[in-house]
Amino acid sequence: MAKNLTRKILEAHLVEGSVRCGSEIGIRIDHTLLQDATGTMAMLEFESIGLDRVQVELAVQYVDHNLLQTDNKNADDHKYLQTACARYGIYHSHPGNGVSHQVHMERFGVPGKIILGADSHTPGAAGISMLGIGAGGLDVALAMAGYPYYFPCPRVFGVRLTGALPDWVSAKDLILEMLRRYGVKGCVGKIVEYYGPGVANLSATDRETIGNMGTELGATSTVFPSDENTRAYLQAQGRGSSWVPLAADDGAEYDEHAEIDLANLEPLIACPSSPGNVVPVRDVAGLKVHQVIVGSSTNSSFRDLMVVARTLEGRHCHPEISLHINPGSRQVLENVALHSGVVSLLRAGARLHEAGCLG
């Protein structure tokens, strides 16, 4: 039987149950992710289990949310997390290194593996063909202790992509088109699997944006195939040996199906007060705004920030606008600086923040 990629990954990690929609399954977790807003409670829960070391292949604690120290409480939390990581064999990512899911993709992500994270945007791991699932802190603590993760087997929503994005249209517009079509609850209980010839025209960071914001669809996760773009990204990170090719079988079946021609997309925008309230940008052109934030969790890759930097060269933002730039990682900030993007942004009046889940 021809299998989709989601089914292949789930079956390779299955420890209990069978891959049938709606039935409870238990899967083995390869990587776990904590961030500081959820990590303190989750780490205390893990400690209470009484193990000497984490029992997963790789566990990481990121500090990417509460970065400023306004009193002793936040600093105490950070020190606790750092020392607990040293005790239990967990990687610790210091404040300023970047957003958890982006840094994990850069430094640790491996195609075909499953990561459980106490962060709703863990499905951004789709950028590297990793199955990322956001969960509660207790679920992640149990996974760190080596227990399976139990959840209802999701439906697989196959989205076939064709064509290529036009100029000035980005991966963000693709996920906004999905939200325009299906709303914020249209993919609850589903994993969205993108496939088809159009996938080759999306970079790894494009796919991370789409997987990340798939959370706003209510989706359990998002997945892309692992192809030459995945390999190029891993090689650029110095981790080419981690690459493996992954794709759905020809003729694979899906529980639901849709098709999007990337060439037909246009710039879209989500209006207040829901990510599902999506309209073409032309419909709100001329509307006065007071604050613009670029980056943080979803649009914080090198390309995202350099498009803004190049657009603003020799220009200055409107005097009544507060323009904020949140790089997704220290690496992104370094690369933007090497290409003179930081100077362009500063001269344009932008406020450049440290890498983190800010805004």
pLDDT tens-place string over residues 210-239: 999 999 999 999 999 999 999 999 999 999
pLDDT tens-place string over residues 184-215: 999 999 999 999 999 999 999 999 999 999 99
- Kindly tell me the sign of the dihedral angle through the C-alpha atoms of 293, 294, 299, 300: negative
Model pLDDT, residue 359: 75
329 has which bridge partners? 98
pLDDT tens-place string over residues 108-128: 999 999 999 999 999 999 999
Percentage of the chain beyond pLDDT 70 is 100
CATH fold group of domain 5-264:
Aconitase; domain 3 (3.30.499)
Contact (CB, 8 A) for 103 and 61: no
Q: Where are the domains of the chain?
A: 5-264, 288-352
Q: What is the DSSP code (8-state) at residue 7?
A: H
Q: What is the DSSP code (8-state) at residue 30?
A: S
Contact (CB, 8 A) for 349 and 339: no
Contact (CB, 8 A) for 175 and 262: no
Q: Is 203 exposed, middle or buried (0-12, 13-18, 19+ CB in 10 A)?
A: middle
| H-type alpha helices, 89-155 | 100-107, 137-144
Q: In CATH terms, are 5-264 and 288-352 the same topology?
A: yes
Which of the four pLDDT bands, split at 50, 70 and 90, describes residue 297? Answer: confident
- Asked, as a colleague might, if the bond just before 120 is cis with ω within 30 of 0, I would say no
Averaged over 236-246, what is the pLDDT? 97
In the chain, % helix, strand, coil (3-state, to 5) comes to: 40, 20, 40
Rg for the chain, CA atoms, rounded? 20
Model pLDDT, residue 71: 87
CATH code, residues 288-352: 3.30.499.10
194 has which bridge partners? 159
Token pair 């984490």 is at which residue?
54
